[in-house]
Amino acid sequence: MAREKTTSFVVRSSIVASLGGLLFGFDTAVISGTTDALKQVFELNDWQLGFTVSSALIGTILGAATIQFPTNRYGRKPTLIAIALLYLISAIGSAFPWNWSSFLFFRFIGGIGVGGASVVSPLYTAEIAPPKRRGFLVALTQFNIVFGILVAYVSNFIIAGLNLGDSEWRWMFGVEAIPAFLFGVALIPNPESPRWLVTKERFDEARKLFQKLVGNDEAADAEFNAVKEAVAEEHNAGREILFCRRYAKLIFLAICIAAFNQLSGINAILYYAPKVFQLAGASENMSMFFPTIIGLTNFVVTMLALLVIDKFGRKTLMLVGSIGYISSLCLVGILFTVFADQFNAQMEKLSDSSSVEIVEGDVTTPVVTAEDASTSTPTEEGAVTEEASGIPKICVFGVLFGLMVFIASHGFGQGACIWVFLSEIFPNSVRAQGQALGCFTHWIMNAVVSGLFPPLLAMLGPSLIFFGFALFMCLQLLWVIFCMPETKQVPLEEMQKRLGIASK
């Protein structure tokens, strides 16, 4: 007997777990408002600043790769509490470092928390949620990631307006300690995953917890027995390891969805959006304003995707998203091709004047040289400088429209589906390992694509870059059509049969 309803206890527990995603988004975005101060305080050159900004990403990769071990041994809930503690330590330490090395260490600690949260938050929610609402509840993590990024930008803006002087950057980092502490406290009433309890043969606790989660004794007993039977079959088959022929299909699916997520260019485009807009001819002010429109679009569309993911299914959202990816990336690529001469001149101008320095997701304060000042045509503040760049205004707004469609396609497709899909396809015994594999692949590809974007942009130009991303999304579309299974409303214990994974 399947669950008939989603209890308030399940909803509350899922929302609390998803707050790990909010801190995930906040932690990765908050540094964007501090780069100038960090460069001055620690006397960093450009390469050192780039490494400083990306130091958290190294911790993220490590966190995603290793979090499976405490998750399986000590449980989902204690691991989430440990992640909250890592966020808290990182926030305080980053606000009060005693030298550059200590600052890198505390950012690295925060990165471990981000990587861990990307695995455990959706994993935990998937294991307590009913099949009919699992997509929505798990996707709350992605919603909170997007929301956390917006909160970081707003927080930085408010703190910058307080005129706190030399301590301003410390407040930007330190304020994260408040939500990190509240996250840890809010986790205390949360239950442990009943499926994890069954794997540890704590059957009485698991049965009682299912009754509380389900709200119907008959359905709770049925779900408990199904989980117990599935776990018994896995134990009878021997100790499970992820990398074996039995799970080859699941490994393929996890790696593909995680790799395609980054091969769309999503993080590279978000990190370097101001650079892209300036290449398209936008003025300094507008190149800083347009990314906020992109961020708001992502936020709104992600909310929409949460409402329909359990109705339309993961595969349908991925199909729509893939088509949107291809069309929007091709549009931007065509615009950069049609106005190639003007864009090349604009790239040379930006390169020669060093007016914009891009460092993974941040733009340092632009410096306008005397040559720029002499060649620029006065315009209203924030206007698109067509006269100065030689690029028609329609191109700037065409690129803006294309990237808005791009981010909407991501929020509706990959952004909403990746964490849900990864949390669903693996059986109980290797779910943490499988989730970690997908997240590890995601963060590795993030580092590779984002790191290669600036040099490839200089060597190949923007048109080939965007057409290249579009080509990868054509491959994703084929993968979705021919390889990706639909997982909506399928009980986790039945997923192996639906995916054709034979028992040992």
- 156-166 per-position pLDDT tens digit: 778 877 888 88
Sign of CA dihedral 282, 287, 289, 295: positive
Indicate if the pLDDT at residue 235 is higher than 80: no
What number is the average pLDDT over the span 18-37?
Answer: 79
- 330-362 per-position pLDDT tens digit: 999 998 888 766 666 666 665 554 443 433 333
- 354-385 per-position pLDDT tens digit: 443 433 333 333 444 434 433 444 444 444 44
- 302-328 per-position pLDDT tens digit: 889 888 888 899 999 999 999 999 999
Q: Residue 363: in which H helix or E strand, if any?
A: strand 362-363
What number is the average pLDDT over the span 455-481?
Answer: 91
Protein fold of 244-373+381-504: Growth Hormone; Chain: A; (1.20.1250)
Given a contact cutoff of 8 angstroms between Cβ atoms, the answer to whether 22 and 151 are in contact is: yes
* pLDDT at residue 324, rounded to an integer: 96
Domain positions in the chain are 1-190, 244-373+381-504
Protein fold of 1-190: Growth Hormone; Chain: A; (1.20.1250)
> Left, alpha or beta for 379 (phi > 0: left; psi -120 to 50: alpha)?
beta
- 57-84 per-position pLDDT tens digit: 788 888 888 888 898 889 899 999 999 9
* pLDDT at residue 331, rounded to an integer: 93
Q: Residue 362: in which H helix or E strand, if any?
A: strand 362-363
Residue 359 bridge partners (DSSP): 362
**φ, ψ for residue 205, nearest 5 deg:** -65, -40
- 432-462 per-position pLDDT tens digit: 788 889 988 988 888 788 777 777 877 888 8
Query: What is the pLDDT of the chain when averaged over all its residues?
Result: 80
Indicate if the pLDDT at residue 403 is higher than 50: yes
d(CA 306, CA 401): 23
Q: Which of 225, 260, 251 is CA-nearest to residue 425?
A: 251
What number is the average pLDDT over the span 100-114?
Answer: 92
- Rounded to whole angstroms, what are the CA distances from 155 to 22, 26, 30, 127? 13, 9, 8, 33
Strands (E), 68-211: none
d(CA 283, CA 22): 32
Identical topology for domains 1-190 and 244-373+381-504:
yes
Q: Which of 386, 383, 401, 420 is CA-nearest to residue 305?
A: 420
* pLDDT at residue 34, rounded to an integer: 77
**φ, ψ for residue 271, nearest 5 deg:** -65, -40
In the chain, the amino acid numbered 380 is E
CB atoms inside a 10 Å sphere around CB 180 = 27
d(CA 464, CA 11): 45
Q: Under DSSP, is residue 481 helix (H, G, I), strand (E, B) or coil?
A: helix
